[in-house]
Structure 1
């Protein structure tokens, strides 16, 4: 059995069909074990003996769409992938805050586009790099100016479309803690 997290795209906790209890219910009905949630933003941990990640993503997304009308995307990572990412310490000495917003943008397995970085990133963004094993772009974003989306985030959306989802580094750490519990 492998421990996984499903990173769900487009979850709005204020939507009555997107509450953690309803999201967990979909996973339980699919037969997964040790189902739990991390925060209220579409991070569902579970255990499965299936290891075909694209098939899991498709199966979960179809169930979310049919049972709750959620059309967003589903991106899955295993505990070993996320543990290795944390252990690599991609943000050494940095602290998550308004001016140093540590982000991890996960790409769906087989996502279209490229893992190469944009040539001229936004001055408010420091691209740390791309971790091929976890299929994730890592960046430090200055979010001290409200209402402005850095060009790097726009580039990610244009390049990879709905095959991505972004989490803060703090959320990734919380997910791993929950997976290891």
Structure 2
């Protein structure tokens, strides 16, 4: 049995409020085992013997769409994959500051080659900088302006990119991995 972390996009933002017990119910209803949630932003841990990750993600997305009435993109990672991502220390060269937030974008499809080759990429307004990437994640420094985070690093991706992404603060990602590991 593999333990997965499902990073869900658009949960408890933009008026799409979902209680965590409802998410656990939906995942359990799909036959997944040991279902747990972490904070209110759409992080679900579960175990399964299924080995086809794409089929599993599609099944979860269909179940969530049926149960919630709207699409919820799902990025699945194993605990080991998230721990390996953290071990890369992608923000080691970033000088800490009060106006910076370090984020991981979990990607459903690989980052386009033309974006990866052009890194680092900054927004024209200076509200974010895409500083690195792996095949299934991008690392972004977001800048707080007027007390808010603005901008969308996904605008660095070409219009031909058909994948989805969901972001988590880097420090939250570490807490998610630790909580999932506790199982």
Residue 169 (structure 2) aligns with = 168
Could you say what secondary structure the match of 1:84 adopts? helix
Contact 2:7 2:43 in 1 (8 A): yes
TM score, norm. by length of structure 2: 0.82
CA distance in 1, matches of 2:175, 2:160: 28
Q: State the Cα distance separating 1:96 from its structure 2 match.
A: 7.2
> Mean alpha-carbon deviation: is it higher for 96-105 or for 162-171?
96-105
Q: What pairs with 1:142-161 in structure 2 (closer than 5 Å)?
A: 142-146=143-147, 149-150=150-151, 152-156=153-157, 158=159, 160=161
- Give the Å deviation of 1:170: 1.9
Match of 1:9 in 2: 9
CA distance in 2, matches of 1:62, 1:69: 10
TM-score normalized with structure 1 length: 0.83
**Gapped regions of structure 2 (runs ≥ 5):** none
Structure 2 residue 139 is the aligned partner of structure 1 residue 130: no
**Aligned partners of 1:158 and 1:145: how far apart in 2?**
29
Q: After TM superposition, give the deviation of residue 118 of structure 1 in Å.
A: 6.2
Q: CA deviation at 1:51?
A: 2.0
Change in Cα spacing, 1:28 to 1:78, as seen in structure 2 (3 Å) is same
Residue number in structure 2 paired with 1:60: 60
Give, in whole Å, the separation in 2 of the partners of 1:97 and 1:19: 34
Task: Pick closer, same or farther for the CA change 1:151–1:37 going to 2, 3 Å.
Answer: closer
1:148/1:27 Cα in 2 relative to 1: closer, same or farther (>3 Å)?
closer
When structure 1 is superposed on structure 2, of 113-122 and 36-45 the one drifting more is: 113-122
Residues 121 and 151 in structure 1, CA contact (< 8 A), matched pair in contact too:
no
